[in-house]
Amino acid sequence: MPTYIPIETGVPLRAVASDLIAFEWKTNGIVADFKLPDDPAHVLRISFDRQCIVRLSDEMAISTEEEDTPNEGLVPNHFAYRLEGARFSRFQSEMWKEVFGPVVHYQFVTGWGCMDVLSGGLPSFSVVERAA
């Protein structure tokens, strides 16, 4: 059964009003910027400094994805989670997870989409100026 463990970003964010606005692969890791609905001049930047497997999907695709059992731990309008036992993580390469692990499954949910990340690194959260 997928278990959602809410994590705090240190930034108040109404997830339903946010969206992913930029994504970039780095040599080791990723950088993703999410809209801060109450602060259009800034974004919430999430970065990982280790290898990642990433899935970006529309909220509609997530709502139709069937899991084996009901989700546990979801909090209304919450943005960031650590997941245990979700299908996305279970179906990834065992060899990759062994080489780059131990890996953790993170999920970042907005009103428009979702970003799943598998990584042996921890997410870093910061507020930065929005690119023009």
Domain residue ranges in the chain: 3-129
Global pTM value? 0.90
Q: Cα–Cα distance between 32 and 27 in angstroms, integer? A: 14
| pLDDT tens figures, 57-85 | 986 555 545 555 566 788 888 999 999 99
Judging by DSSP bridges, how do beta strands 104-109 and 113-119 pair with one another? antiparallel
> Measured on CA atoms in the order 12, 16, 18, 23, is the torsion positive or negative?
positive
How remote is the C-alpha of 95 from its chain's centroid? 22
- State the Cα–Cα distance between residues 117 and 109, nearest whole angstrom: 12
Weakest-pLDDT range from 2-6, 32-36, 61-65: 61-65
